[in-house]
């Protein structure tokens, strides 16, 4: 067995010298157990100064304020916050666009035929008062003016039938009644003429016949003035006392008229001579001027 040098041993006991040539050997194992290192003692805790603690607290507060401000700015300027859509119907397109864009909306414009003045907003989508996201689009329908349509014919129809035809085509109707050879109640003319183009919703003027306007003049000689005026009015005529003449007829009696009879246009005037009674000379000379016709001598 191989010998290993061991550790040097010392003893207090006396030793004797060995004879020369003697070899001393030892056979043994030395077991050495590892020794755990001693951990260093931790340094004593360092107490922070109150100024350092306050500084960190202020720094945290500033961070929170900055974060809150950044969130608020983003929501107000770049976020999707809701906003109320303003009312722009009835406004010119330019004014409507300015109003919407100033509130953060985008605008899209469509032009459509409409009775409103050209360039006027007549509808908006979404409607006024709606809550919509900032940056969303509001659609505006702008009037391109009334659409032109063909005017239908009403001439020759009755007033009711002509009016219905024009209204059904989208027109308004105004009416004037005139004397005419056509039968009463018939449409005799229109403006604009049939076949022309006019804006839908425009007015078409029609003339309606009142008939020829010729009436029979009643004979009122010998009647009292009151009765004569009533008879003429019922026939569609007016009366006017032209002269008061002396006559054998009682005072207030019609003694002459012009025209004496026949036909006259409705609304025309019949001139009358009225008796002042026998022996009166006021009012003029009988039979020389004024109305013509019998004087009624008794």
How would residue 66 be classed by pLDDT, with cut points 50, 70 and 90? Answer: confident
Strand spans (E) along 101-237: 106-112, 121-125, 131-133, 137-143, 148-150, 172-178, 187-191, 197-199, 203-209, 214-216
State mean pLDDT over 57-65. 85
Write down the pLDDT at residue 53.
72
* One-character DSSP codes across 40-96: PPPPPPPPPPHHHHHHHHHHHHHHHHHHHHHHHHIIIIIS--EEEPPP-TTSBHHHH
How would residue 283 be classed by pLDDT, with cut points 50, 70 and 90? Answer: very low
For residues 81 and 82, the model is more confident at 82
pLDDT(298) > 50: no
Write down the pLDDT at residue 37.
65
Nearest alpha carbon to residue 173 among 162, 188, 185, 158: 162
Distance in angstroms (rounded) separating the CA atoms of residues 272 and 267 = 16
- Chain Cα centroid distance, residue 256: 68
Domains and CATH numbers, the chain: 82-143 (3.30.10.20), 148-209 (3.30.10.20), 214-277 (3.30.10.20)
Distance in angstroms (rounded) separating the CA atoms of residues 172 and 195 = 16
pLDDT(61) > 90: no
Q: Could you identify the residue written with the tokens 């604009």? A: 192
> Token digits for 104?
């953060």
For residues 1 and 18, the model is more confident at 18
pLDDT(288) > 50: no
Report the percent of the chain where pLDDT is more than 90. 51
pLDDT(232) > 60: yes
Write down the pLDDT at residue 15.
52
pLDDT(44) > 70: no
How would residue 59 be classed by pLDDT, with cut points 50, 70 and 90? Answer: confident
Write down the pLDDT at residue 20.
61
Write down the pLDDT at residue 67.
84
Minimum mean pLDDT range among 16-20, 29-33, 46-50, 157-161: 29-33
pLDDT(102) > 60: yes
Reported as a single tens digit per residue, the pLDDT across 247-258 is 999 999 999 999
Distance in angstroms (rounded) separating the CA atoms of residues 271 and 292 = 9
Q: What is the pTM of this model?
A: 0.41
pLDDT(295) > 70: no
Reported as a single tens digit per residue, the pLDDT across 198-230 is 988 899 999 999 888 888 999 999 999 999 999
Arithmetic mean of pLDDT over the chain: 82
């Amino acid at each position: 067995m191989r010998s290993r040098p061991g550790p040097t041993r010392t003893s207090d006991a006396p030793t004797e010298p060995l004879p020369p040539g003697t070899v001393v050997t030892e056979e043994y194992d030395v077991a050495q157990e590892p020794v755990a290192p001693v951990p260093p003692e931790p340094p004593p805790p360092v107490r922070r100064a109150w100024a350092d603690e306050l500084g960190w607290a202020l720094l945290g507060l500033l961070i929170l304020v900055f974060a809150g401000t950044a969130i608020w700015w983003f929501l107000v300027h770049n976020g999707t916050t809701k906003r109320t859509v303003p009312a722009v119907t009835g406004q010119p397109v330019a004014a409507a666009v300015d109003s919407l864009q100033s509130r953060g909306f985008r605008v899209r414009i469509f032009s459509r035929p409409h009775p409103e003045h050209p360039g006027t907003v007549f509808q908006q989508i979404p409607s006024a008062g709606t809550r919509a996201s900032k940056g969303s689009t509001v659609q505006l329908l702008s009037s391109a003016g009334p659409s032109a349509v063909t005017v239908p014919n009403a001439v020759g129809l009755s007033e009711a039938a002509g009016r219905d035809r024009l209204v059904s085509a989208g027109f308004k109707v105004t009416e004037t009644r005139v004397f005419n050879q056509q039968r009463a109640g018939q449409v005799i003319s229109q403006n604009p003429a049939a076949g022309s183009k006019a804006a839908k919703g425009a007015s078409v003027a029609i003339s309606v016949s009142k008939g020829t306007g010729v009436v029979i003049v009643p004979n009122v000689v010998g009647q009292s003035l009151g009765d004569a005026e009533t008879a003429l009015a019922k026939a569609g005529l007016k009366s006017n006392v032209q002269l008061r003449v002396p006559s054998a007829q009682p005072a207030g009696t019609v003694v002459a008229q012009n025209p004496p009879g026949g036909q006259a246009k409705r609304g025309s005037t019949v001139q009358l001579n009225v008796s002042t009674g026998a022996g009166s000379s006021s009012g003029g000379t009988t039979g020389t001027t004024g109305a013509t016709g019998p004087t009624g001598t008794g």
